[in-house]
Structure 1
Amino acid sequence: MADFFDQLNDILFLDIETASLTEKYEELPERIQEEWLRKERLIQTEEVIHEPGYLYFDRAGIHAEFGQVVCVGVGYFQWKKKDKKLAFRSKCYANDDERELLLEFKALLEKKKWILCAHNGKEFDFPYLCRRMLINGVALPEPLQISGKKPWEVRHLDTMELWKFGDYKHYTRLELLASVFGIPSSKDDLDGSQVNTTFHLEKDVEKIKKYCLRDVEVTARVYMAMHPQSDDLEIEIIHLDESKKDHKD
């Protein structure tokens, strides 16, 4: 049990929220507009003729070439050996300047030899961060550098992959895992499909940050549920942005 919690201290749980690069398709640089239309033809499923760029607002945010990172939520456990309690410290990075946001996140990754963990992180969060960093001229920090590394040298965990148990065709939403493990939902007043509207039209970054932090906590709790240690283990949630504590079981 002690070894598990010692290793747990090195895991950085994270979640990113993304939005389209601009509010409107017409605001993109001309070359990028042309590339989006090519992408749009590949992803459209209707035979109805629409105006060019009609899918941009709803779909661009999930593609790193046409989107941007609007916030990065992170969290990590601290094992209190004396009290046999866990503290989970979380924080959200957000900045009007995406490059500055990514630089702040990079500085955190360079503080220690983190193991990164996200839900569907290997398919989305990790590659998206890498692509946006390079587009913004930010050198990749060591935890995100996978080129030339052997599989066992890449310190990436993915709760969705862990739940597959080798079933490569299986996709499971984080919300479904939270439901089956009895973990409170992170989708109370916002979900991923509403982030673009909340960011561009409502200008409510704080709402997105709170949603992002809840996803980070849910991911961490799902990871713990996959590695049961004690039914009565208490987890103290500490939001570093708010400088206040919230006790939860």
Structure 2
Amino acid sequence: MMFGFPILIFDVETMTDIKAGSQLYQLDLADESSLQALAKLRRQEAGTDFAKLPLHQVVCISGLWIDEGKFQLFSWTQHEYSEKEILQKFTGIFEKKQPILVSWNGTQFDLPVIMYRCLYHGITAATLFEQGEWDQQKRYNNYQNRYLPRHTDLMDVLSGFNQKSFQKLDEIVRILGYPGKQGISGNDVAEFVQQAQWAALGCYCESDVLNTWLVYLRWLLLRGFVDQQQHQYWIQRTIGYLQQHAQHAAFLQQWQKSCLGTAFTANDFLQNP
């Protein structure tokens, strides 16, 4: 029971690019001192430690690919690839296929970060960033326009494109009976990298992808794009897939507990005890 078109649910993990930040602010310090200085400068500018988007170095991209019988999680981290190679692998997907792209906050964070970092590395990503200037067919069917379905940013569409109504992914999935972030957040990414915990980083990023996928399924049901039977099919397929991948045992275990919190999800595991 397939959708008839490829779907890519994705998430990006980042940390501050000390080299680029030092170049921006003309710092000549050791890395740790530069990082502290960048955080202080950012607090002075914006009242937050959260770096400017161009200074977010991509350390991991994870995704769930669904197409022609494939249902596969994947992660690319800087353990195996440079940031430039990760970006080339991700943007290369769109030159080969043009999937429906699904994210949470991808419009305001993930895709702008990818664009800035592609600029930084001199990467061409024509299909992903085409808006119809050269290909007229893409004018109303591209990944950049927030109102078009080629890229479904769930945070955006569920808020009615109203920033005042934006919600956190972790809170929405918990309300809906799904696992959530399990005590880890984006603030832990730099520590994962510093301690070379690449498997843990990939697993964390994939858990965000899985949570996004589960909300997307519910959104498809809400819109009538799948019916109850089809929704249950994908829930069972997701559970079956995760049962074959030990790194997601904790996600499954938490899902079994959290699903009991709502009447709609209470039966998720009855077919997969």
TM-score band (shorter)?
0.7 to 0.9
Alignment partners' CA distance in 1, 2:113 and 2:158: 22
Tell me which residue corresponds to 1:74. Answer: 63
Tell me which residue corresponds to 2:146. Answer: none
Contact 2:132 2:140 in 1 (8 A): no
Comparing both chains, which one has the higher relative contact order based on Cα–Cα distances under 8 Å and sequence gaps of 6 or more? Answer: 1
Tell me which residue corresponds to 1:32. Answer: 24
Q: 227, 235, 238: which one pairs with 2:237?
A: 235
Unaligned runs of 5+ in 1: 46-54, 81-86
Contact 1:117 1:159 in 2 (8 A): yes
The percent of aligned pairs where both chains have the same amino acid is 22
Tell me which residue corresponds to 2:156. Answer: 161
Contact 1:115 1:157 in 2 (8 A): yes
Matched, 1:183 2:178: yes
Tell me which residue corresponds to 1:6. Answer: 3
**Secondary structure of 1:235's partner?**
helix
Matched, 1:205 2:198: yes
Mean Cα displacement is larger for which, 106-115 or 132-141? Answer: 106-115
1:90-146 superposed Cα distances (whole Å, 9 cap, x missing partner): 101113511111112222232211221110111111111111011011112402333
Contact 1:73 1:92 in 2 (8 A): yes
Q: How much does 1:243 deviate?
A: 10
Tell me which residue corresponds to 2:186. Answer: 192
1:2-32 superposed Cα distances (whole Å, 9 cap, x missing partner): 7xx424x42211000001113xxxx667532
In the TM superposition, 1:82-121 aligns within 5 A as 88-95=71-78, 96-121=81-106
> What do you get for the CA RMSD once the two structures are aligned?
3.1
Higher normalized helix content (fraction of residues): 2
Higher normalized strand content (fraction of residues): 1
Tell me which residue corresponds to 1:48. Answer: none
* Structure 1 stretches of at least 4 aligned residues deviating more than 6 Å after TM superposition: 242-248
Q: How many residues align?
A: 217
Q: How much does 1:217 deviate?
A: 1.1
Alignment partners' CA distance in 1, 2:171 and 2:21: 39
TM-score, with structure 2 as normaliser:
0.68
Unaligned runs of 5+ in 2: 28-37, 144-149, 222-226, 253-267
Tell me which residue corresponds to 2:47. Answer: 44
Contact 1:238 1:245 in 2 (8 A): no
Tell me which residue corresponds to 1:124. Answer: 109
1:54-107 superposed Cα distances (whole Å, 9 cap, x missing partner): x4xxx33xx332220001001123476xxxxxx631101113511111112222
TM-score, with structure 1 as normaliser:
0.74
Q: 118, 122, 125: which one pairs with 1:140?
A: 125
Q: 221, 232, 240: which one pairs with 2:214?
A: 221
